[in-house]
Amino acid sequence: MEIITSVKEIQKISFCLRAEKKQIGFVPTMGALHQGHISLIKECKKNNDWTIVSIFVNSIQFNDQNDYKNYPRPLDNDLNICQELQVDTVFAPSLKEMYPEEFLTFVNVEKLSSNLCGEYRPGHFEGVATIVTKLFNITNPHRAYFGAKDYQQTQIIKKLVRDLNFDIEIIVLPTIRDENGLALSSRHKYLSQEEKKQTYVLYKSLKKALSLLDKNIKDPKIIIDQINKIIVKEHLANVEYIKICDPVHLSDLKYISNEALIALAVRFEKARLIDSIIWRKN
């Protein structure tokens, strides 16, 4: 497995792979790899000749500098995981390599970035769209893999790929959950034992929303209220938002007809967790 830190070098590798007609699969990450990332890497390995994994904690997508400073960076462990999974190339650049002085160009996917997490994390999706655009340009993959847990992120990336004419297939794989239904996230290490026990309410409340919809209860206000009631039962969980949106445009729905995204963000003392689920009429 090669570990590359320079943009020029990884560009050269992908240029040569393309010249050899090799299919390149790409899994962008911020490291602290867990089973969610592992499922993306495995799928990427299955369907491509060459798998590139990037590990880069992208400073510009953090709206809170403390969150950036404290974000886990277990690089050796991440490299071991990549090695075990037989990743071909890891791209792990420095901050300076990705954002040299006087970096002035940013990518903003309008509208899709403003609701949900965008409302509570100003600048976050601009940071994501900018780094993903850069990484796509640098690694030039045929396919790129993302987890459905970050639903809004996946919609934004699909849109930027269409709008900026990237010839890249975006593959979104299902959320991986622990035995209590908690969607895996690199931020779980911030949770105390007690908090961890209470996190089950996120998925429980989403499943309740699905069951209400299946019973033909279509008023978002009623469903949001029910979700909220379940979450507030756990005293360490603080709801940031609960929203029911159109799954494509990510705008709030006043009434649910054929499909809906039910999404939430919940804060524990040091961790902000997100989760979502899609409901579709049978």
Catalytic positions are: 37
Minimum Å gap between C-beta 196 and ligand PAF is: 21
Minimum Å gap between C-beta 99 and ligand PAF is: 12
Q: Is residue 61 a contact residue for ligand PAF (CB under 6 A)? A: yes
Residues numbered 183 to 212 that lie near ligand PAF (CB under 6 A) are: none
CA 108 to each of CA 118, 132, 258: distance values in angstroms, whole numbers, following the listed order: 11, 11, 29
Residues numbered 83 to 102 that lie near ligand PAF (CB under 6 A) are: none
Minimum Å gap between C-beta 61 and ligand PAF is: 6
Minimum Å gap between C-beta 194 and ligand PAF is: 27
Q: Is residue 78 a contact residue for ligand PAF (CB under 6 A)? A: no
Q: For residue 155, how many C-alpha atoms fall within 13 Å in the half-sphere facing its CB?
A: 21
Out of 39, 58, 140, 276, the only residue in the binding site for ligand PAF (CB under 6 A) is 58
Minimum Å gap between C-beta 236 and ligand PAF is: 25
b vs e for 123-141, b when ≥16 Cβ sit within 10 Å of the residue's Cβ? ebbbbbbbbbbbbbebbbb
Q: For residue 165, how many C-alpha atoms fall within 13 Å in the half-sphere facing its CB?
A: 0
Q: Is residue 29 a contact residue for ligand PAF (CB under 6 A)? A: yes
Q: Is residue 264 a contact residue for ligand PAF (CB under 6 A)? A: no
Specify the residue, 148 or 217, whose C-beta has the smaller distance to ligand PAF. 148
| Three-class SS of 167-203 | CCEEEEECCCECCCCCECCHHHHHCCHHHHHHCHHHH
Residue showing tokens 């100003």: 122
Q: Is residue 150 a contact residue for ligand PAF (CB under 6 A)? A: yes
Q: What track of x and - describes contact with ligand PAF for positions 104 through 133 (by CB under 6 A)?
A: ------------------------x--xx-
Which residues, 6 or more positions from 128, have their beta carbon under 8 angstroms from its beta carbon?
A: 58, 61, 153, 156, 157
Q: Is residue 139 a contact residue for ligand PAF (CB under 6 A)? A: no
Q: What's the sign of the alpha-carbon dihedral 147, 148, 150, 151?
A: positive
How many amino acids of this chain bind ligand PAF (CB under 6 A)?
A: 10
Specify the residue, 44 or 253, whose C-beta has the smaller distance to ligand PAF. 44
Residue type, 19: A
Q: Is residue 30 a contact residue for ligand PAF (CB under 6 A)? A: yes
Angle, CA 244 vertex, CA 187 and CA 194 arms, to 5°: 30
Catalogue the E-assigned strands of 59-142.
89-91
| Residues in contact with ligand PAF by the rule CB under 6 A | 28-30, 58, 61, 128, 131-132, 150, 153
